Structure 1
Amino acid sequence: MSDDQRRQELGHFLRTRRLRLTPEEAGLPHAQFTRRRTKGLRREEVSALAGISLPWYTSLEQGRDINVSDQVLDSLARVLRLDADENHHLHFLANPRQYTFISKKKEPEVSSSLNFLLEQMPLCPAYITDAKMNVLAWNHLALSVFGPFGTADSRERNMIWRIFMLPSYRTMFVDWEDLAESLLGHFRVMYSQNLEDTWYSEFITEMTENSPEFSTMWENYEVRCTSKHPQAITHPQVGLLNLSTLVLPVQNGSGQFLHAFTPDLQDGSSERLAQLAEKMTVTQ
């Protein structure tokens, strides 16, 4: 990844976190009596609370080439009220060499063992994605729940494109906005780990131009290490399906993820999902 790109991304991340925090939340109750041109904390307030100099913090936000210790990052994370995912993201952007990530210059195929695993989950919809959140493989029940994924080179294979661009998804997912933010938070992490890959910048530009909701959420800079948001689906054939999401990285050097969806065992979702699986078996 380009160091310049990484430092610019770090600066952008810090600015969004500084501007979302009110003085009261940061423990500055008297700050409300001072005139403010923008919302959130000022740079001098962040630097004072974190115990670092204002010129140093300003340089960090402006993407300049400076070294950052873990102690300083921990102090910034505390001041900016970062959660675990955001804290991990901050440390990665500041010191990426401490982390080991798989090179994804050549996208690998889904292994035969993974395809076999997918088919061994007849009552749980499941699919495999790459680091771009393109769906590479799926089982039959995933097709019935989430709809056709299109051809290998189409945008319909991408889960970010699907959640923002498919009208059917707006009505199918009960908490569409929360789910979209969760998926985009996972996508943001993948993007930050692959800043040198032009596919991401081209895709983000395309989505920003075609989806106002994507543009707004992207500027909000949501960060989620994994998209574990529960999914409530109003399915046209069997009704409400409350599904929990399990996202597992595939530990074979591929940069792929296994997404499996398990039904709520108390509200009848498991029975309705089984009905859908039976309908699918009959029509095959």
Structure 2
Amino acid sequence: MANNAEEIKKFLRARRDAVRPSQVGLANYPGRRVPGLRREEVAQLAGVSVDYYTRLEQGRLTSASEGVILSIAEALKLTQAETQYLRDLLRPQPRRSVEPALPQQVRPALLRMLTGLHDQPAFVLGRRNEVLASNDLLDALFTPFNHRPPGERNLLRWMLLDPAARSLYLDWAQVTSEVVGVLRAEAGRNPNDPRIAEFVAELRSVSPEFRTWWAERTVVERTWGSKRFNHPVVGRLDITYEALSLPGDPDQILFVYAGKTDDDLEKLRILASWYAQSTPRPASAGKDTSQPDGVGEQDSRHA
């Protein structure tokens, strides 16, 4: 990720360009040369001087009070996730070590919980979207992460680069761009993490879609929602999901999927039966697949 000053500049400019005057009660008169807001308009809406906002957007200021951050967020119609991203950029908090002494590990009790969910795909994501653990039904729905080499258990890389992922998601572009936004939020929390920078550089070099979405600077936090799949075994499948932060493991997110209807639930059961009969259980199945805190590098190392 770029240094804070450069990222502040690019993020504020991108968000300002995205807001239409009509969204904030301003007239969009004929001949207006900018599609979004002008700097002076943002300054007026936020209650700060034009000079102050200009210096902020130009990266000449790298900190701001909470009140100013919230005022600018309101003026730019930022989401909660985008507001937190701006807060991370302008009021950096003490950072976690970028070189943890130990690899991320999924607690044994949580692993038992995962394997005990027979009708619900479930998995645990680590700091940069690496799949730390998954149950059989998740592997049946997505891809057998437990069979993959350690450096290829990254959810975002799989979504971007595996043709099977593009076929699986009925809304592939929307879902994948949201995961890119999740990586953007993580980059804001950890601007000095070299592994995120390496991972971003890698994806920019191999994925044109990633380059486009990363440049848009959309920020997304994982919460809950629904997804639509076209699975090669069971066909159309709709699920709901919950993304649960683990209080004792702040860098880990537990995802639990559920069939949206009784028909979807029955399809998940069929998928589980098919997977059990057709796929040899890997040696690592039911075990923690956590790896050293890399960003899913090929060979030894990342979402």
TM-score, normalised by the number of residues in structure 2: 0.84
Alpha carbons 1:50, 1:72 under 8 Å: kept = yes
Give the RMSD, CA atoms, in angstroms.
Answer: 2.1
Q: Does 1:6 align with 2:29?
A: no
SS, match of residue 184 in structure 1: helix
Q: Supply the distance in 1 between the matched residues of 2:71 and 2:48 (Cα, whole angstroms).
A: 9
Aligned with residue 135 of structure 1, among 131, 136, 139:
131
1:178-229 Cα shifts (integer Å, max 9, x gaps): 1112211111111111111111111111111211111111111111111534
Aligned residue number for residue 236 of structure 1: 232
2:18 paired residue number: 20
Question: Within 1, Cα distance between the matches of 2:118 and 2:227?
Answer: 19
Q: Tell whether the 8 Å contact from 2:123 to 2:254 is kept in structure 1 after alignment.
A: yes
Q: 1:153 aligns with which of 143, 150, 153?
A: 150
Deviation at 1:118, TM superposition (A): 0.7
Q: Deviations over 1:29-68 (max 9, x none)?
A: 0x534542x4311111111221211121111112224541
Provide the rounded CA distance (Å) in 1 between the counterparts of 2:109 and 2:248: 11
Q: 2:29 maps to what in 1?
A: 32
1:229-277 Cα offsets, whole Å, 9 max, x none, are 42211111111111112111222245111111111125x1001101111
Aligned to 2:170: 174
Q: How much identity, in percent, do the aligned residues show?
A: 31
Equivalent pair of 1:104/1:255 in contact (CA under 8 Å)? no
What is the distance in 1 between the residues matched to 2:31 and 2:51?
A: 22
- The aligned length equals 276
Q: Which residue of 88, 94, 105 corresponds with 2:99? A: 105
Distance in structure 2 (CA, Å) of the matches to 1:35 and 1:282: 64
Verify the 8 A CA contact 2:98 2:192 in the aligned structure 1: no
Query: Is contact 1:183-1:227 (8 Å) kept?
Result: no
Query: Which residue of structure 2 aligns with residue 272 of structure 1?
Result: 267
- What are the residue-to-residue correspondences of 1:39-58 with 2, within 5 Å? 39-58=35-54
Residue 114 of structure 1: how far off its partner (Å): 1.8
1:221 & 1:204 partners in 2: Cα distance? Answer: 13
Q: What is the CA-CA distance between 1:14 and the residue it aligns to? A: 1.3
Structure 1 residue 132: deviation in Å? 0.6
Q: CA deviation at 1:89?
A: 2.2
Q: Which residue of 2 aligns with 1:79?
A: 75
Question: Which of 180, 184, 187 pairs up with 2:180?
Answer: 184
How far is the alpha carbon of 1:104 from its aligned partner?
5.1
Q: Which letter does structure 2 place at the counterpart of 1:105?
A: E
Q: Which amino acid aligns with 1:222?
A: T
* 1:119 counterpart = 2:119: no
> What 5-or-longer segments of structure 1 have no aligned partner?
none
In the alignment, which residue of structure 1 is the partner of 2:290? none
> Could you tell me which amino acid in structure 2 is paired with residue 274 of structure 1?
R
Distance 1:271 1:66 in 2: 53
Q: Is the 8 A contact 1:182 1:227 kept in 2?
A: no
For the residues of structure 2 that align with 1:88 and 1:24, how far apart are their CA atoms?
Answer: 25
3-state DSSP of counterpart to 1:255: strand
SS in 1 for 2:104: coil
Residue equivalent to 2:285? none
> How far apart are the structure 2 equivalents of 1:70 and 1:85?
15
Q: 1:118 aligns to what SS in structure 2?
A: helix
- Equivalence for 1:197: 193
